[in-house]
């Protein structure tokens, strides 16, 4: 097999054939593959090599999964260690030394209150399954059905997680699923739902939340939980102010509402602290974890306050909750990030990248906003030919953003788009990114913006 792959590298015709067959055989619902016609055959760190021999810097990182980049030596060593040991690869949710070591490594990273008095539930391997588990746990513990969720949220594609997700187009396929969801305004400085932005906008969001919960005629039943992201990822890289997170913690605590924080994308150092909640100092009642905790293999868990642990045996079962390779790769990743303080590196490099992007924004009016935390960065692309709103924000320019994504790919840079209108260029490089790689990413992105401005039909600036 390695021989076959090696022979394929540099073979443009083979790559074309694979892409053509994918388009013919895979479903219309395929996602990343549409905008990124790459056929990866080799990858190391931040670099991905396509079957056509082209090399890319990968700022998608498996949608934020690869904290250490592709095929990091400590991850490969951990996987090989399990394979060579003769340990069973499939064990349902039985106890194993590998699982024990993973749980220990994970608990060492958690906020002390959760580590000391917390429980862990291993879920089906996707983030969305852990979100389902968290909602089910809270509903069981409180005997209530309602859920408080936020505009712009993304929590996954299964029923309850999708109901909590903000995307109305995708949710249309599940009519009625969100009957128990109360949607609240997430603080979004650039496009503030209250038209004021900043601390004032965040404060109004908090006031609205407290108000609807306390108004006996407000129409909101006491909910089972509040579910939020500390930095919205798919929603367009929107970091919540620390003060707002503390207010949400206070509002929920005062009303006995469990607070679930979805750290599927923000976890494992990505935002400059090991977990995104650490920055504000809040301790959630439930944390939802996936993506990077499996060290590039599928793994998802929830950790929660033991008082909530009232559900029945088998309440959240699943065949694939014992992936030993993922647990070994995950434990190695968690320990490596912790030992080398890669969250601090994410903070430093991320701040430098943000600084340079803001410099770029000064020369390109089509960059409406640059924002992020650590190495979770977004560049919002806007339509300079349109009128700004009364807060100064220009309408989103998804068409130009797609041109930028394509031009970046042509320059050997893989980026993802996100945001309410698909017009936010997202950078999620591995925490191991070198200074040189960060410069190369910025140079390629700058070149892509120049090129897209010149060629995208109707792109004014």
* Interaction site with ligand PMP (CB under 6 A): 63, 126-128, 131, 154-156, 229, 233-234, 262, 264-265, 290
* 208 φ/ψ angles, rounded to the nearest 5 degrees: -60, -45
CB of 31 to ligand PMP, least distance (A): 10
Structure tokens, 34: 């549409």
Residues paired with residue 49 on neighbouring β-strands, in sequence order: 42, 55
Nearest approach in angstroms of CB 165 to ligand PMP is 8
What Rg, from alpha-carbon coordinates, does the chain have? 22
Q: Are 426 and 404 in contact (CB under 8 A)?
A: no
Q: Is the four-CA dihedral 369, 127, 293, 409 of positive or negative sign?
A: negative
Least distance from C-beta 148 to ligand PMP, angstroms? Answer: 16
Other Cβ atoms within 10 Å of 306 Cβ, number: 11
**Which CB, 329 or 397, lies closer to ligand PMP?**
329
Going 183 to 186 to 191 to 197, the CA torsion angle's sign is positive
Nearer to ligand PMP, 262 or 347 (CB): 262
Pick between residue 52 and residue 234 the one whose CB is nearest to ligand PMP. 234
Of 49 and 132, the one with the shorter C-beta distance to ligand PMP is 132
- Least distance in angstroms from the C-beta of 134 to ligand PMP: 10
Smallest gap from Cβ 232 to ligand PMP, in A, equals 8
Of the pair 156, 272, the CB lying nearest ligand PMP is at: 156
Whole-angstrom Cα distance, residue 354 to residue 356?
5
Q: How far is the CB of 186 from ligand PMP (least distance, A)?
A: 12
CA distances from 123 to 87, 172, 253, 259 (A): 21, 26, 26, 19
The residues near 151 (Cβ < 8 Å, ≥ 6 apart) are: 166, 183, 184, 185, 186, 188, 193
Instruction: Identify which of residues 126 and 393 has a Cβ nearer to ligand PMP in the complex.
Output: 126
């Amino acid at each position: 097999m390695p021989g076959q792959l090696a022979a394929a590298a540099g073979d443009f015709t083979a790559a074309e054939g694979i892409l053509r067959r994918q388009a013919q055989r895979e479903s219309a619902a395929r996602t990343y593959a549409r905008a990124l016609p790459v056929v990866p055959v080799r990858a190391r760190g931040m670099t991905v090599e396509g079957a056509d021999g082209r090399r890319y810097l990968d700022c998608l990182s498996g949608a934020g999964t690869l904290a250490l980049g592709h095929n990091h030596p400590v991850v490969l060593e951990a996987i090989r260690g399990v394979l060579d040991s003769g340990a069973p690869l499939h064990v349902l949710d039985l106890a194993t030394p590998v699982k024990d070591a993973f749980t220990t490594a994970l608990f060492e990273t958690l906020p002390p209150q959760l580590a000391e008095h917390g429980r862990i539930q291993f879920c089906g391997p996707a983030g969305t399954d852990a979100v389902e588990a968290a909602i089910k746990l809270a509903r069981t513990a409180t005997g209530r059905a309602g859920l408080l969720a936020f505009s712009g949220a993304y929590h996954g594609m299964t029923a309850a997680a999708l109901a909590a997700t903000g995307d109305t187009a995708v949710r249309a396929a599940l009519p009625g699923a969100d009957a128990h969801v109360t949607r609240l305004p997430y603080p979004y400085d650039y496009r503030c739902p209250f038209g004021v932005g900043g601390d004032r906008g965040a404060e109004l969001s908090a006031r609205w939340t407290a108000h609807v919960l306390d108004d006996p005629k407000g129409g909101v039943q006491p909910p089972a939980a509040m579910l939020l992201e500390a930095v919205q990822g798919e929603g367009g890289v929107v970091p919540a102010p620390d003060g707002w997170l503390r207010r949400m913690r206070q509002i929920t605590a005062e009303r006995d509402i469990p607070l679930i924080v979805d750290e599927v994308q923000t976890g494992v150092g990505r935002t400059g602290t090991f977990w995104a909640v650490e920055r504000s100092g809040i301790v959630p009642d439930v944390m939802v974890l996936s993506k990077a905790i499996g060290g590039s293999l599928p793994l998802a868990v929830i950790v929660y306050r033991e008082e909530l642990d009232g559900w029945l045996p088998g309440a959240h079962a699943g065949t694939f909750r014992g992936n030993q390779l993922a647990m070994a790769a995950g434990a190695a990743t968690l320990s490596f990030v912790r030992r080398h303080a890669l969250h601090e590196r994410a903070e430093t490099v991320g701040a430098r990248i943000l600084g340079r992007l803001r410099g770029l924004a000064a020369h390109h009016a089509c960059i409406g906003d640059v924002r992020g935390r650590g190495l979770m960065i977004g560049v919002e692309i806007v339509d300079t030919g349109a009128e700004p709103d009364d807060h100064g924000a220009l309408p989103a320019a998804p068409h130009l953003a797609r041109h930028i994504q394509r031009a970046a790919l042509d320059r050997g840079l893989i980026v993802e788009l996100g945001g309410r209108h698909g017009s936010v260029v997202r950078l999620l490089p591995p925490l191991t990114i070198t200074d040189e790689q960060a410069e190369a990413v910025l140079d390629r992105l700058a070149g892509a913006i120049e090129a897209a401005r010149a060629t995208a039909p109707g792109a004014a600036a």
